[in-house]
């Protein structure tokens, strides 16, 4: 999420918009500040935390005065990407404040009930994510797809079938809703090697992490556990795999699936269950394969070479770049600033 917000902030500033990015310390946008646009101001608040509501509230109170002074009159857009959107508290005192809230996952209880807000503008990350949010909140919800900065094309030059990597790759956070055990079982059934990488530290259930570790240990060498890796290692794992795999549970919604477009950007196909945003990303036989169940997905493993590196990369170039994402957000921001009736949703 932080990287996505940073990309939009930088790109908007490069298009001559004045941008203030308020983030936790060590924001991706603040890395290597030399060369950043002069009209991009970065304000860091608290240390990165998984403290939930309490941490977000502390974050809000550190920028509340600036928020109300700079945006209380409605002369700019407040783009809130937090879970609980405490900025809505400021609209009680400053009703002209224009807030757009992008939700990056499941809808959690809000500090201010939606029904008390004037023109609450919620944005999801995909068609089904927006539909889900709308059903929960009982309001209209739009969506904007995530985008990424494309890696250099020379890094994506693929190899021949026999040189294209010999393992499947799971690069999801190690949590139950990601269905990582199903990905491992599929690999074992099809006698494919699989590597498991993902955040196993900032997770709610360490017993699940241990379950996945043990599953890898008992796979007769087919599954290798990496856990949390740095970005350089993650990229190398993607570049050397034959496909990325994801089996999110049907009881949970995959809001988007950033890992899928990251894989595609390096010319790698994605094998996934048809859940949430993955339906917007993956077109069968173009940049991967979607299935309803892990058993059905199993039948596509031998077909991944039907997806060329060029078609995988092209899908991202046409729909999911950081430039396209920025353009889509700026169009919404501008319409809201103009008070276009169609954007009072």
Report pLDDT digits (tens) over 276-326. 999 999 999 999 999 999 999 999 999 999 999 999 999 999 999 999 999
Predicted pLDDT of residue 148: 96
Interior/surface letters 57-67, b for 16+ CB within 10 angstroms, e for the rest: bebbeebeeeb
User: In this structure, are residues 123 and 144 in contact, taking their beta carbons and an 8 Å threshold?
Assistant: yes
User: In this structure, are residues 287 and 315 in contact, taking their beta carbons and an 8 Å threshold?
Assistant: yes
Query: Of 120, 80, 103, whose CA–CA distance to 276 is shortest?
Result: 103
Q: Return the higher-pLDDT residue of 265 and 340.
A: 265
User: What percent of the chain is modeled with pLDDT above 70?
Assistant: 91
Say what the pTM is.
0.92
Q: What is the mean pLDDT of the chain?
A: 91
Predicted pLDDT of residue 83: 87
Predicted pLDDT of residue 49: 72
Quick: pLDDT tens for 62-100. 999 999 999 999 999 999 999 888 898 898 899 999 999
Q: Which domains does the chain have, with CATH numbers?
A: 2-148+321-343 (3.40.50.2000), 153-319 (3.40.50.2000)
| Mean of pLDDT values over 246-272 | 97
Q: How long, in residues, is the chain?
A: 345
Predicted pLDDT of residue 32: 47
User: In this structure, are residues 4 and 325 in contact, taking their beta carbons and an 8 Å threshold?
Assistant: yes
- pLDDT of residue 161 exceeding 60, the answer is no
- pLDDT of residue 344 exceeding 70, the answer is yes
């Amino acid at each position: 999420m932080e990287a996505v917000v940073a990309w939009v902030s930088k790109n908007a500033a490069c298009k001559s918009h004045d941008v203030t990015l308020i983030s936790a310390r060590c924001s991706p946008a603040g890395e290597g500040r030399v060369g950043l646009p002069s009209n991009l101001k970065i304000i860091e608040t608290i240390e990165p935390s998984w403290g939930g509501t309490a941490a977000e509230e502390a974050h809000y109170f550190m920028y509340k005065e600036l928020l109300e002074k700079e945006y209380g009159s409605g002369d700019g857009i407040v783009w809130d990407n937090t879970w609980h959107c405490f900025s809505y508290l400021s609209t009680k005192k400053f009703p002209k404040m224009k807030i757009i809230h992008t939700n990056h996952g499941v809808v959690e209880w809000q500090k201010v009930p939606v029904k008390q807000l004037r023109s609450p503008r919620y944005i999801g990350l995909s068609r089904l994510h927006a539909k889900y949010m709308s059903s929960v909140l009982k309001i209209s919800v739009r969506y904007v797809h995530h985008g990424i900065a494309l890696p250099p094309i020379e890094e994506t030059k693929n190899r021949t079938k026999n040189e294209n990597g010999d393992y499947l790759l799971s690069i999801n956070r190690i949590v139950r809703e990601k269905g990582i055990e199903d990905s491992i079982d599929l690999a074992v059934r099809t006698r494919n090697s699989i590597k498991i990488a993902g955040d196993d530290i900032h997770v709610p259930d360490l017993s699940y992490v241990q379950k996945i570790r043990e599953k890898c240990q008992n796979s007769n060498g087919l599954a290798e556990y990496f856990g949390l890796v740095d970005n350089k290692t993650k990229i190398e794992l993607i570049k050397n795999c034959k496909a990325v795999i994801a089996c999110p549970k049907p009881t949970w919604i995959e809001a988007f699936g950033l890992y899928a477009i990251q894989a595609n950007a390096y010319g790698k196909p994605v094998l996934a269950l048809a859940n949430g945003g993955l339906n917007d990303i993956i077109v069968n036989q173009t940049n991967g394969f979607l299935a309803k169940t892990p058993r059905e997905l199993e039948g596509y493993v031998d077909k991944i070479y039907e997806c060329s590196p060029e078609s995988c990369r092209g899908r991202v170039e046409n729909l999911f770049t950081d430039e396209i994402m920025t353009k889509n957000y700026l169009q919404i921001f501008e319409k809201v600033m103009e008070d276009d009736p169609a954007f009072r949703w």
